[in-house]
Amino acid sequence: MRSRFLKPQKAPGLMLTSLLDMFTIILIFLIVSFDAESYDFRLAEDVTLPESATRTELTPAVNVAITRGRIVVEQDELLAIEEGRVRESDYDAGEIPELVEALRAEYEARFGEDATAPDDVTEPIVVVQSDRSLDYRTLYVVLRSAATAGFFKYRLATMKS
């Protein structure tokens, strides 16, 4: 026998408030993590990049590729090297004159001649792609040449493992 004080049971309704909260949180997460900028990063031929476990955002920069046979600035071959080593006759005082001239031309094309104090967004950066088996002296001479040309920040390109 049914008691007259019991309320009739009806099916529970859908809780829209918590559902909307969940979708709002997911939407905010996707908007924050979405990267609208793209950067055209062309990997040089004959380069085996070292591996990295971290992820860093790419910013527009001048690409310098060092293979075992040449140095390339922005897809233009600049200097032939032998077995990943720059000949001592190719550099003077720890700098490669041809590389300094090419990087100064890139600097002036991007930042102008009067770019004495670039801000954080347009700061001159060199992205160096070098083969993992490259001689350290070659990398040192290239980075020193970039500093002479006005590029004081370097990024070493790696492949994510």
Whole-angstrom CA distances from 131 to 71, 86, 118, 159 are: 11, 14, 30, 11
The pLDDT, as a whole number, for residue 38 is 55
CB atoms within 10 A of CB 59: 15
pLDDT for 85 equals: 78
Note the pLDDT of residue 128.
86
Give the separation between CA 25 and CA 19, rounded to whole angstroms.
10
Give the pLDDT score at 66: 86
Write the DSSP assignment of 16-81 as a string of letters: HHHHHHHHHHHHHHHHHH--------PPPTT--PPEESS-------EEEEE-SSEEEETTEEEEE-
Give how far Cα 58 sits from Cα of 26, 87, 111, 157, 161, Å. 26, 32, 18, 10, 17
- Give residue 96's pLDDT: 85
Q: For residue 93, what pLDDT is reported?
A: 78
Total Cβ atoms within 10 A of residue 78: 18
What proportions of the chain, in percent to the nearest 5, are helix, strand and coil? 30, 20, 50
Low-confidence ranges of the chain (pLDDT < 50): none
Kindly list the domain boundaries of the chain, sorted by start residue: 51-160
The pair of three-digit structure tokens given for residue 36, joined into one six-digit string: 């609208």
What is the pLDDT at residue 55? 64
Is the model's pTM score more than 0.75? Answer: no
- Nearest CA-CA partner of 139 in 84, 91, 60, 98: 84
